[in-house]
Amino acid sequence: MGKEIGGDAFTADDFVRFGRRLAVETRHARAAYARGDFANTGTVAGFELEAWLVDDEFFPVPRNMAFLARMNNPLVVPELSRFNVELNGTPQRLCGTALSRLEGELTATWQQCLRVARDDAAALIAIGILPTLRESDLSPASMSPYRRYAMLNEQILTLRGGRPLTLDIVGIDSLSTTHTDVMLEAATTSFQVHLQTPASAAARTYNASMILAAPLVALAANSPFLFERALWHETRVPLFEQAVDCCDPGHPEHLRVTFGSGYLGADPTACFAENLSSYAVLLPFEVPGPVGSYAHLRLHNGTIWRWNRLLIGFDDSGAPHLRVEQRVMPAGPSIIDMIANAAFYYGVVHMLASQTVAPEARIPFAVARDNFYRAARYGLQAPLVWFDGQRATAAELLARELLPMARVGLAQLDLAAGDVERYLGVIAARLQSGQNGANWQLAHYAKYHDFFRLTADYLAHQRRLMPVHEWPI
């Protein structure tokens, strides 16, 4: 999905040819995994951060193309809307000072972005949903001028039979509206972390990531407002799921944005077979190259937005590898908060994936899924069901069990002790204060009733690189 595609329109033959190639590549990937062809060494970390361009009144400003031209940085690329951009990190072997290297690179890229935006009387802000966003901002006129986005919009509406997309969210307040395009998706920005893992550990790592999704989204929640309504602590979740809803109403587990249909078994590539059998092709663009490049499989997989998504990539020698893309965390509140969230995730998921008794044997999939949506709705106070039916709030579970687990996991990964203390210290202080991004935003609005002041204060604190538990209200 990140690469531009050619052509002006799709024909029925395009779908037929793409489907045939997709089927061949899916069989090839499954056979390659069975033969042991996927890389079985190394643990590598990376990230993608989506951000907003805003003007001096804190409204989104649709000028990403001029901004990107001035940036001239391959780590900063376009997103669906003209007021969003994406910052990428160079993958790091997950050992030693990998975490501080990720933070240092992101800080340097972020500061460059701020300087370039300032030259155009704009600013960059990392926040899950911009509190000052208006429905009128989400129009086709604000779509980035890339053919892949226009075609994606066209195909989703075709699958819906031309019916408008309906947004219906009940939370602290409620919101119901309709849109005739997929631009609602542009209202959600995230901090996606990647974890490349040995192929033999991919299924366990993926399943552990699904189980961890609930406490992780509660810990990181930073999206309580949409169109001036307080909804879920992480409103990105229902918003994104409904923004590109084109599934068969009889099969809600096949939403394009979904928690998934179940845990993975021994063969993680089974998820690509599910993609083939259960999801209509949206972008049937033929890509030249050998079957083993998996170009069509990867393109199709990129149009299915599981909250935890398994990806195929290639190492420097050309060998295919598997990695998990953890998609539940929003952008923001600060750089150190985001790297701390990533550190927590890497440590805990390592421990869960290496337990003698697999966690997925102790938490049914339906429970993990229900936990996720409760955590997205209620944040740190969400009631969760944990191993063997234990019950606790997300905050209690995080402080009592998961934070100590993260410390052990990062030590086992041989991360630098100073980094472990720095980033998990941020998590500990956040839990002690009870102030994550969502809670800070809700408390700020409760005090001032002013979305513009909220956004201005948020941006000021973010620019100072302050962790959110230190933000005054």
CA 163 – CA 176 distance, rounded (Å): 16
The helix-helix angle for 202-220 and 335-353 (nearest 10°) equals: 140
Phi-psi region of 158 (alpha: psi -120 to 50; beta: other; left: phi over 0): alpha
How far is residue 419's CA from residue 400's CA, in Å, rounded to a whole number?
A: 21
3-state secondary structure at position 73: coil
> What is the Cβ-side half-sphere exposure of residue 325, based on CA atoms within 13 angstroms?
19
Task: Please return the burial class of 302, using the count of CB atoms within 10 Å of its CB with bins 0-12, 13-18 and 19+.
Answer: middle
Residue 363 is given by DSSP the state S
**DSSP 3-state assignment of 219?**
helix
Residue 1 DSSP class = -
**Segments of the chain scoring below 50 in pLDDT:** 1-2, 4
Q: What are phi and psi of 21, to 5 degrees?
A: -65, -35
pLDDT of residue 159: 85
- Contact criterion met (CB below 8 Å) for 78 and 86: yes
| Nearest residue to 48 via CA among 421, 399, 395, 327 | 327
The pLDDT, as a whole number, for residue 334 is 98
Residues 6+ apart with CB under 8 A from 237: 217, 307, 328, 372, 373, 376
User: 448: how many CB neighbours lie within 10 A of its CB?
Assistant: 13
Residues 313 and 196: their CA atoms lie apart, in Å, by 9
Task: Concatenate the DSSP letters of all residues of 231-296 into one string.
Answer: --TBTHHHHHHHHT--S-TT-GGG-SEES-SS---S-TTHHHHHHHHHS--S------S-GGG-HH
Q: Are 98 and 91 in contact (CB under 8 A)?
A: no
Handedness of CA 189, 269, 374, 357 (dihedral sign): negative
**Residues 6+ away with beta carbon under 8 Å from 111:** none
* Residue-level length of the chain: 473
Nearest in space to 139 (alpha carbons), one of 188, 185, 85: 185
User: Greatest CA separation found in the chain?
Assistant: 61
CATH class of 12-464: alpha beta
Residue 224: cis peptide before it, omega within 30 degrees of 0: no
- Residue 194's H or E segment, with its range, is strand 191-197
- Token look-up 């631009």 returns 183
According to the model, what pLDDT value does residue 388 have?
87
**Beta strand 305-306 with 308-314: parallel, antiparallel or unpaired?**
unpaired
Torsion angles phi and psi, residue 9, rounded to 5: -160, 160
Residue 59, pLDDT score: 97
The reported pLDDT for the residue numbered 409 is: 98
DSSP state letter for 401: I
pLDDT of residue 244: 87
Do residues 440 and 468 touch, judged by C-beta distance below 8 A? yes
pTM equals 0.96
In degrees and rounded to multiples of 5, residue 318 shows phi and psi of 95, 0
Q: What's phi and psi for 55, nearest 5 deg?
A: -90, -175
